[in-house]
């Protein structure tokens, strides 16, 4: 929430609206998001071994993340269309089982642009679609997979400057 506690995507009459950012200064903006897909250890091993019938899971998820970031404004109704200058995607394995015995894959995404509004939604869409793509490619062998902890870890730029989540699961992409 912003400091004045205003919800800027609503007009005075309470109607949803796209915020007018034309008076804002264009600055370099970066957002970092992350998320986890939990799965059976055998599923992670098959991903690692390249033994998934649909192909190279992480390569496809990487491309899906970039595509999602680029098309965010088509998915989120009040989101501005942005000219992204970069999208990065990193995957890492979580080998320590959780309370259900599941291991996982962590994704960390970053989106960058120079513009009048932030790229948080682009980074979050990229992380979400990367995880959904892995799920899609592996669901035939592990329908019990679960997506968790999709979150914004950091945003930089604009009037509010730097914000970092204290308990971020993702490492910083710079």
Active site residues: 136
* Six-digit token string for 45: 């091993």
3-state secondary structure of 57: helix
Q: What is the DSSP string of 99-138?
A: TTS-EEEEEEEEEEEEESS--HHHHHHHHHHHHHHHHHHH
Between CA 19 and CA 78 the distance in angstroms is 8
CB 78 within 8 A of CB 9: yes
Maximum distance among all Cα pairs of the chain, rounded to whole angstroms: 56
């Amino acid at each position: 929430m912003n400091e004045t506690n205003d919800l800027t995507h609503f007009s005075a009459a309470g109607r949803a609206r796209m915020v007018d950012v034309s008076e804002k200064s264009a600055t370099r903006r970066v957002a970092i998001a992350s998320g986890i897909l939990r799965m059976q250890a055998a599923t992670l091993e098959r991903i690692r071994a390249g033994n998934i019938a649909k192909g190279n899971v992480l390569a496809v998820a990487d491309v899906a993340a970039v595509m999602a970031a680029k098309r965010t404004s088509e998915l989120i109704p009040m989101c501005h269309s942005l000219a992204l200058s970069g999208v990065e995607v990193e995957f890492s394995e979580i080998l320590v089982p959780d309370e259900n015995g599941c291991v996982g894959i962590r994704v960390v995404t970053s989106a960058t642009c120079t513009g009048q509004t932030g790229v948080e939604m682009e980074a979050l869409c990229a992380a979400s679609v990367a995880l959904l793509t892995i799920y899609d490619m592996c669901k035939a062998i592990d329908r019990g997979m679960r997506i968790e902890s999709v979150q914004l870890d950091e945003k930089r730029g604009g009037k509010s400057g730097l914000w970092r989540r204290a308990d971020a699961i993702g490492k910083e992409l710079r």
